[in-house]
Amino acid sequence: MVSIRELADLIIAAKEKLHKLPKFLELEAGSFAVIGDLHGDYLSLKQILEWLEHERPGAAIFLGDYIDRGGASLLVINELFNRLVNEKMNYVLLRGNHEYIYRLPVWPHTLPLELQARLGEGWKTVYGLLLACFAELPLACMLESCLCLHGGFPVIDSRAATLAELRTGCLTEQENVVVQVLYNDFSEMLENIAPSPRGAGYVVGWQPVRQFFRENKISVIFRGHQLFNKPAVKLFGKKIYSIMSCKNVYPEVLKKSAAILVKPGKKFIKIVYF
């Protein structure tokens, strides 16, 4: 493992690069990959990175939740920040709700204990730098008509937000928008919305989903956040793909980790398992 000084320098370099990005990214890429929650699953990340190096998509979109639960959060962060800073491929790191810990508590939050065990007395310095860096992570990314975010689109005044409201809310970091982007879940059993059992955000059903897709020029949403009994789940008639990339964190539930390869111009979506 790198020294505390090297790690601190890397986090500062990543923060400086992220600070230049808008919170709502709009990119062009002939193809792109989408990777779901990692939660300190370094083994799954290494498999996915090997696949990315072979596939070489135009961009690799990571949907957040890099830390906690698994025991290798620091290795995951070190690997991704190195690639963010040094790689030629466009690595896009979005924020998850576990990277919003400085505003809303999450459980479990195992990162401090891991840093303490791995780094000793200097762990608090690294933790503080990481929290500052997490605050710079973008919240959402549009690639042509594909929307990538961690949780879901926000609901405002009992209706689905417009894309303009989502974009503006992300760019200005409106708390009601940010929390929902990071925390909202989806259920095909629900017609409208319900308070989330997580204690933040909503569970969103058919009516807001229909409205969001009808009123905005979006073909598909890629998101993570929500644990199903499979690593990749298609919801609402394949309008929403929910992805988890951390099989070693949930071995009782997930037999594999997943990523998605997308070629928007060809309307090509392929789920890849690891």
Listed in sequence order, the DSSP H helices in the chain are 4-19, 42-55, 73-86, 111-119, 123-134, 163-171, 175-183, 206-215
Q: Which long-range contacts (CB under 8 A, 24 or more apart) does 251-260 make?
A: 253/227, 253/229, 254/230, 255/231, 256/231, 257/36, 257/41, 257/44, 257/47, 257/48, 257/231, 258/36, 258/231, 258/232, 259/33, 259/34, 259/35, 259/36, 259/48, 259/51, 260/33, 260/34, 260/222, 260/232
Range of the domain at 185: 4-273
- Asked if the model's pLDDT at residue 1 lies above 70, the reply is no
64-116 residue pLDDT tens: 999 999 999 999 999 999 999 998 789 999 999 999 998 999 999 999 999 99
Return the residue matching tokens 């890429």.
Answer: 29
pLDDT tens string 13-53:
999 999 999 999 999 988 999 999 999 999 999 999 999 99
Tally of structural domains, the chain = 1
Q: Mean pLDDT, to the nearest integer, of 161-183?
A: 97
Give the CATH number, domain containing residue 36. 3.60.21.10
Integer Cα distance of 247 and 106 in angstroms: 20
Helix (H, G, I), strand (E, B) or coil at 23: coil
| pLDDT 10s digits, 102-157 | 899 999 999 999 999 999 999 999 999 999 999 999 999 999 999 999 999 999 98
267: tokens are 């309307």
